[in-house]
Amino acid sequence: MHRRATTLLTVALLLAACADGTILGPVTLPPGAVTFDALPIYTQWWADVEACSGRTGDLGRVNWFVVPNARWFGYEGEAYDGYWFRYHHRIILASAYVQDSLVVRHEMLHDLLDDGRHPPEYFVDRCGPQVGARATSLDRLR
């Protein structure tokens, strides 16, 4: 019985470590990124993306970051206006795009799909007008 309890405790600790990013490793934010509260309009934009995608999720689980005074930011050798981190539910935006519905909804769609790729079914067919046509040219894993 003691061995089973130890095994269960070990599994529980590993799952907890995965959930907080310890095992997956900490996410390195772009230089200068700071946290911010979701703008009130994000609630409507989230609902728009839920409606077009047919997916539902919790906007409250998303942690928002902004890179101040920026039109883009660098991450892993690439330039971005917005970026979604899988597992951590973090969205980082260049400050120039905090109120840009296409950029914000684009990153929201990544979170709802739990996928860093750009499946045409969602980024073109279902949600193209909400997330912008630029989505199909960015098909890379995150």
Does the residue 6 lie in any domain? no
106 has pLDDT over 70: yes
**Backbone φ and ψ of 41, nearest 5°:** -65, -20
Does the residue 20 lie in any domain? no
Does the residue 17 lie in any domain? no
Burial class (CB in 10 A: 0-12, 13-18, 19+), 137: exposed
Kindly give the pairing relationship between strand 90-94 and strand 63-67.
parallel
Q: Which residues contact 111 (CB under 8 A, 6 or more apart)?
A: 57, 62, 84, 89, 91
Does the residue 1 lie in any domain? no
Here the tokens at position 104 are 């914000």
Does the residue 9 lie in any domain? no
Does the residue 11 lie in any domain? no
138 has pLDDT over 50: no
**pLDDT for 136:** 41
Domain count, the chain: 1
16 has pLDDT over 50: no
CA–chain centroid gap for 82, Å, is 9
- Please state the rounded mean pLDDT for residues 91-109: 97
User: Which residue range is the domain that position 62 belongs to?
Assistant: 28-138
